[in-house]
């Protein structure tokens, strides 16, 4: 009898903690709409002096 009572106590504790699933989240609540900012101006201009920084070549990296 004592063993069944212990199992029931653990089952009741488990049911109290994990007994219900969390509330469902709607898709509208998971996504957010943000207006895009138009790029351009000084930050988007081409800089020929600094363009070599993004250049990648194995021969160049090895100094050949």
How far apart are alpha carbons 40 and 31 in whole angstroms?
27
Query: Tokens for 40?
Result: 């351009």
Q: What is the dihedral of CA 54, 57, 58, 64, to 10 degrees?
A: -110
Query: Tokens for 34?
Result: 């943000």
For tokens 């201009």, the residue is: 45
How far apart are alpha carbons 35 and 53 in whole angstroms?
32
**pLDDT class for 60, splitting at 50, 70, 90?**
confident
Q: Looking at the predicted structure, is the pLDDT value of residue 41 above 60?
A: no
Q: Looking at the predicted structure, is the pLDDT value of residue 19 above 80?
A: yes
**pLDDT class for 8, splitting at 50, 70, 90?**
confident
């Amino acid at each position: 009898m004592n063993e069944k009572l212990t199992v029931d106590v653990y089952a009741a504790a488990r049911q109290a903690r994990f007994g219900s699933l969390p509330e469902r989240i709607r898709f509208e609540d998971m996504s957010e709409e943000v207006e895009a900012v138009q790029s351009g101006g000084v930050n988007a201009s081409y800089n020929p002096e600094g363009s070599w920084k993004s250049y990648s070549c194995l021969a160049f990296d090895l100094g050949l």
